[in-house]
Every structure is written in C-alpha cells, then in structure tokens.
C-alpha cells in the first residue's frame, strides 16, 4: 500500500479485501488470534458538554438522566470479573466537579481488591483530577478527540468546547503514566480523506496506546441528524478502513472493534476484528439503563443481559477463528515497549 490517503480512498471490493487481509496479518503477527475484553460500565449519562452529534448532549430534553451509585458500579465490576473479564471501562458523560471526582476515587479504591485493569472514559479534567484517579488505581484513560481537524471540531461543537484542551489532556495523561487512548469518528459531515489520514498521523505522533473509533451514526435528537448522505454499508466501510490503516501504521497498539460497527451490520464487530482490531467491550451495565445511554441511533444489545452477551461473543469469535483472552488484562504492547525503551 502507498500513502494513508490512498489506502483510505479504496472502494473496490478486491482492494478492500486485500487491505483487510494485510491488516489482519499484522494483528496476528503481533497479537495472535486473540481478543481482549473490557466490561463496559456506563456509569451515568449526565453531561456538561453539548456536542452537536451526541444523543446525551446536555441540551437534549428527551434523555432520562441517571447516575449509578458507587455500590452499583462496584457490583457491575464484580459481575464483569465473574464472567472472566479482567478489565473494565467506566464511562460516563463529561462532568467536572469535586463530588464526582471524589466518587470515582472511592470507586477505584474499592475496585483495587478485584485486581482488574481499569480504564476511565470520563472526559476532560484538570491535571490534578487525572493524578488523583491514577493514584487511586486507574491504569488507562480513553479520551477521543473525535477529529484531528481543529476547524472541523469547531463546527461540531459549541464555541466553548476546545480541541486544544482535549489534546493537552491527552498529553497530561501520558505524563501521569496512563495507558492513553483516543480516537475519532469516521465519515463525519465535512470530513475528508485527508482528515482521516491526519487522524492516524496524530495517533502516531502522540504515540498513543489504545484507539477507539467508529463510523459516525446520526442521532435523531442531535442537530447533525440526517446531514450525511451515506448508506450503512458505506459508513461501515469507513470504520473498517480506519481500523485497517491504523493497524498497518501502528501494529502494536490496542484497537477496539466499536459497537457502532455492530449497529451497522450484525457481524460488524467481527468484521472489525478481521480488519485488525483486537479489543471488544461487552456491555455489563444493567439493561434498565442502556436505552438512556445512546450516543447514536441503533445501539445494539439494549435488551441483552451480560451473561447472554458473553455466550454470544464466544460463539461469534470462534466462528472467525478468534478466542477471548479470559482472565488477562490485555494491556497495550506499545505501552510496555515504550516503558522498556525509557529504562534503557
């Protein structure tokens, strides 16, 4: 393959098959026929942000807001461990408050007894907050920049939302020795092939450890709904191409097969694995809350309990020659490589 722009511009079936085959070969070379899991806990949908594409944006009056208690978050983490998941992700709307910060600190200290890898995805925070959470036991942090194009970012967000602050947060997380994750949405309105290629270059230049990205899917209660004239298959293809191109560029990072892929095709998540992804995040949140945490339309598995989800995953992954690494945290190979190099 030539440049990233050339790779991402592929549309013919044979070319795409070749791309995915090459990316999957890289995944097998460095990671093997294995998939790491993160039990996803959607701890609350209260959000101070007002992103124009998001279903839980603060200005959406149709959302039934909720916030799980500390006991509920710990209970769900215990359930994840009982399923053999050695890592969890605690995700919520973006909140900057001392009470929320303290609540997360208490949760992290309680989770220490479970010996789990803990990823937080709680948005932009001050450096001291990230430090307190790291000291309390968080080991990874996921903060998606959504696009590497600052001007496009400004068109997708209110004026008080800052792309530069988001980037600085990522750099602060790196200084605090988190495994740092970020990502973008693919095929956003106004996004170009160059923008997506630049996103992969951003991942490379910032030397991130984890990447979570998926195709943009409109939400009916967000202002961007209905402005993207792409079919489901076309959106899926953009997501798969970004996974493949990223794997070929950064072979040792963790790449998630986002649930948005499954929203576009029943086997979308498996297609993501076969395009080079190596992480999946089965939802362990109580079913009664899942419909209230919809960032985009068509979120899958809203009514499927976590036990059924585990059995389904085993079966689906076995069908493509992959297996789940139960009992293993699945830390980023790139993170450990960088730590080793720093000690030399």
Note whether 267 and 232 are within 8 A (CB). no
Q: Is 13 exposed, middle or buried (0-12, 13-18, 19+ CB in 10 A)?
A: exposed
Q: Is the sign of the CA dihedral 268, 269, 272, 273 positive or negative?
A: negative
3-state secondary structure of 35: strand
16-19: long-range contacts, CB 8 A cutoff, minimum separation 24: 16/237, 16/240, 16/241, 19/241, 19/244, 19/245, 19/275
pLDDT, averaged per 10 consecutive residues of the chain (344 residues), comes to 87 97 98 96 98 96 97 97 96 98 98 97 98 98 97 96 98 98 94 96 98 93 74 95 98 96 95 98 93 90 74 91 96 93 79
Q: What is the pLDDT of residue 228?
A: 60
Cα separation, 210 vs 131, in Å, equals 19
Torsion of CA 139, 342, 148, 291, to 10 degrees: -10
What pTM does this model have? Answer: 0.96
Instruction: Quote the pLDDT of residue 308.
Output: 64
- Residue 230: per-residue pLDDT: 87
Q: What's the burial of 292, exposed, middle or buried (CB within 10 Å: 0-12/13-18/19+)?
A: middle
What residue spans define the domains of the chain?
A: 4-343
DSSP characters over 245-310: HHHHH-TTSEEEE-HHHHHHSTTHHHHHHHTT--EE--B-S-HHHHTT--SSTT-S-TT--HHHHH
Where does residue 235 rank: exposed (0-12), middle (13-18), buried (19+ CB within 10 A)?
Answer: buried
pLDDT of 226 reads: 52
- Residue range 4-343, CATH number: 3.20.20.70
């Amino acid at each position: 393959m030539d440049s990233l722009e050339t790779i991402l511009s592929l549309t013919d079936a044979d070319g795409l098959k070749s791309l995915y085959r090459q990316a999957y070969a890289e995944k097998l070379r460095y990671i093997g026929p294995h998939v790491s899991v993160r039990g996803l806990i959607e701890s609350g949908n209260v959000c101070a942000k007002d992103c124009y594409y998001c279903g839980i944006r603060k200005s959406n009056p149709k959302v039934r807001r909720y916030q799980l208690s500390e006991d509920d978050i710990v209970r769900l983490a215990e359930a994840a461990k009982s399923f053999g998941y050695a890592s969890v992700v605690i995700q919520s709307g973006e909140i900057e408050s001392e009470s929320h910060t303290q609540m997360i600190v208490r949760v992290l200290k309680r989770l220490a007894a479970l010996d789990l890898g803990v990823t937080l995805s709680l948005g932009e925070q001050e450096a001291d907050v990230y430090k307190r959470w790291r000291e309390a036991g968080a080991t990874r942090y996921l903060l998606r920049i959504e696009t590497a194009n600052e001007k496009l970012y400004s068109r997708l967000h209110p004026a008080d939302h800052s792309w530069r602050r988001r980037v600085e947060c990522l750099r602060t997380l790196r200084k605090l020795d988190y495994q740092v994750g970020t990502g973008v949405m693919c095929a956003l309105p106004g996004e170009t092939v160059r923008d997506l290629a630049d996103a992969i270059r951003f991942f490379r230049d910032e030397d991130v450890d984890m990447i979570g990205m998926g195709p943009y899917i409109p939400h009916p209660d967000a202002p961007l709904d209905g402005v993207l004239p792409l079919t489901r298959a076309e959106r899926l293809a953009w997501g798969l191409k970004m996974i493949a191109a990223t794997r070929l560029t950064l072979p040792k990072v963790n790449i998630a097969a986002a649930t948005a892929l499954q929203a576009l095709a029943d086997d979308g998540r498996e297609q993501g694995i076969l395009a080079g992804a190596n992480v999946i995040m089965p939802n362990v949140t109580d079913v009664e809350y899942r419909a209230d945490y919809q960032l985009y339309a068509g979120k899958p598995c809203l009514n499927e309990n976590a036990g059924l989800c585990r059995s389904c995953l085993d079966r689906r992954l076995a069908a493509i020659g992959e297996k789940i690494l139960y009992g293993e945290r699945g830390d980023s190979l790139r993170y450990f490589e960088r730590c080793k190099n720093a000690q030399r």
